[in-house]
């Protein structure tokens, strides 16, 4: 059986007119950075990489040592290639400019370098999320305003999952495709073509510890699921929660389900828990490309107009029938 690598896959996408040469090379650079992050994640305590770094990120959250390392790996890997006009990281307040002695390109890269980093010290799966936008024409120097494009303008999105195997899940607007890192060969191999989210499901993912803070539409929806086959849904549901968005969404992508981090009283003043530009938009693009749906409970995530770089939003995504149901409950209320 012929093994197709990520590079071969991207070249074929380029020949079909679905990617540009620069976008192909940009994705390959991100993939190389992912491999470097995977090596660091796998070492853990052997390289003294567990625990906190002693600093906070722009969100006011304590950074893990691997948060800082993953962020630096992605910045340094993508600075010099000439594909980017600028970058933005969830860990850093300001836009990261390309050094003056490197050429600039026509794309913008946003990323969450290590999603779910609270799981690092207990050896549970974490990941990297990234999003690619076009640099607006007619602008010489990139600013924060250049990044404030709705998610439907993304030209590519993906995530890496650092689990028993390292996976890279990618869309360039032509379905969702998965690649597994062959550690001996050092290359990503095409293993999951045209991934799809089943329309129906019997699994849901939500942080149940926040149940007392949920809005009434979410309490109504989860309450129906918990009643199981004796309730209005007429079937049993299982709850799963990893506390790593990459891991939770990957499960939804591979076997169906619904992932929710809704608006509640704890995060209402912030507008939500998850970041629109670094988490919600790329994951929404992936899920929609896989046949699922993604909303804030009130509108399609990819239609949200960003107002600031680190904006937060509620997130409800996954199997279409379930997302439509809980969204309808929000709109009714």
Strands 166-171, 156-162: pairing kind:
antiparallel
302 known ligand binder = no
Q: What is the pLDDT of residue 55?
A: 67
Instruction: Over range 78-87, report the average pLDDT.
Output: 95
Give yes or no: residues 45 and 143 share one domain: yes
Instruction: Over range 209-230, report the average pLDDT.
Output: 97
What are 131-179's pLDDT values in tens digits?
Answer: 999 999 989 899 999 999 999 999 999 999 999 999 999 999 999 999 9
Q: Provide CB contacts within 8 A for 212, sequence distance 6+.
A: none
Give yes or no: residues 13 and 75 share one domain: yes
CB 316 within 8 A of CB 292: no
Whether 278 has a pLDDT exceeding 80, the answer reads yes
pTM for this one?
0.95
Does residue 1 belong to any structural domain of this protein? no
Among candidate residues 133, 156, 129, 132, the one with its CA nearest the CA of residue 70: 129
Residue 131 structural domain: 6-192
Does residue 142 belong to any structural domain of this protein? yes
What span, in angstroms and rounded, lies between the C-alpha atoms of 324 and 73? Answer: 39
22 known ligand binder = no
CATH number of the domain bearing residue 116:
3.30.540.10
Does residue 220 belong to any structural domain of this protein? yes
Give yes or no: residues 140 and 222 share one domain: no
117 known ligand binder = yes
Q: What angle do CA 25, 28, 32 make, to 5 degrees?
A: 140
Does residue 198 belong to any structural domain of this protein? no
Does residue 155 belong to any structural domain of this protein? yes
Give yes or no: residues 167 and 234 share one domain: no
82 known ligand binder = no
Residues 123/129/262/311 CA torsion (nearest 10 deg): 130
Whether 64 has a pLDDT exceeding 60, the answer reads yes
Last residue of a domain, one of 167, 192, 217: 192
Does residue 197 belong to any structural domain of this protein? no
112 known ligand binder = yes
Q: What is the pLDDT of residue 174?
A: 95
90 known ligand binder = yes
Residues 206/211/213/217 CA torsion (nearest 10 deg): 80
273 known ligand binder = yes
H/E run at residue 110: strand 107-115
The number of folded domains in the chain is 2
CATH number of the domain bearing residue 291:
3.40.190.80
Does residue 131 belong to any structural domain of this protein? yes
Structure tokens at 208: 């149940």
157 phi and psi, to 5 degrees?
-155, 155
CB 120 within 8 A of CB 244: no
114 known ligand binder = yes
167 phi and psi, to 5 degrees?
-115, 145
Give yes or no: residues 16 and 130 share one domain: yes
């Amino acid at each position: 059986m012929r093994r197709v690598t990520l590079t071969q896959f991207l070249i074929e996408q380029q020949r079909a007119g679905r990617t540009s040469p620069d976008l192909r090379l940009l994705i390959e650079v991100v993939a190389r950075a992912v491999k470097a992050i995977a090596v660091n994640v796998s070492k853990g305590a052997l390289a003294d990489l567990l625990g906190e770094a002693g600093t906070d990120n722009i969100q006011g959250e304590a950074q893990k040592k691997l948060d800082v390392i993953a962020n630096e790996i992605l910045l340094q890997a993508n600075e010099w290639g000439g594909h980017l006009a600028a970058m933005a990281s969830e860990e850093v307040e300001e836009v990261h400019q390309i050094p003056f002695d490197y050429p600039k390109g026509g794309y913008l890269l946003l990323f969450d370098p290590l999603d779910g980093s609270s799981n690092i010290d207990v050896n549970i799966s974490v990941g990297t999320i990234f999003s690619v936008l076009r640099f607006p024409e007619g602008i010489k120097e990139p600013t924060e305003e250049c990044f404030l494009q709705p998610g439907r303008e993304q030209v590519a999105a993906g995530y890496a999952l650092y689990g028993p195997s390292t996976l890279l899940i990618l869309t360039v607007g032509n379905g969702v495709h998965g690649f597994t890192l062959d550690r001996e060969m050092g290359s990503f191999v095409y293993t999951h073509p045209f991934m799809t989210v089943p329309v129906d499901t019997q699994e849901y993912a939500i942080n149940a510890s926040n149940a007392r803070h949920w809005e009434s539409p979410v309490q109504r929806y989860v309450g129906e699921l918990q009643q199981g086959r004796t309730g209005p849904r007429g079937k049993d549901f299982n709850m799963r929660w990893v506390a790593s968005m990459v891991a939770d969404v990957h499960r939804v992508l591979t076997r169906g389900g619904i992932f929710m981090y809704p608006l509640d009283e704890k995060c209402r003043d912030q507008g939500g828990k998850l970041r629109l530009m670094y988490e919600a938009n790329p994951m929404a693009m992936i899920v929609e490309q896989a046949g699922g749906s993604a909303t804030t409970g009130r509108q399609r995530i990819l239609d949200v107009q960003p107002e600031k770089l680190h904006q937060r939003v509620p997130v409800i995504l996954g199997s279409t029938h379930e997302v439509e149901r809980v969204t309808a409950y929000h709109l009714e209320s």
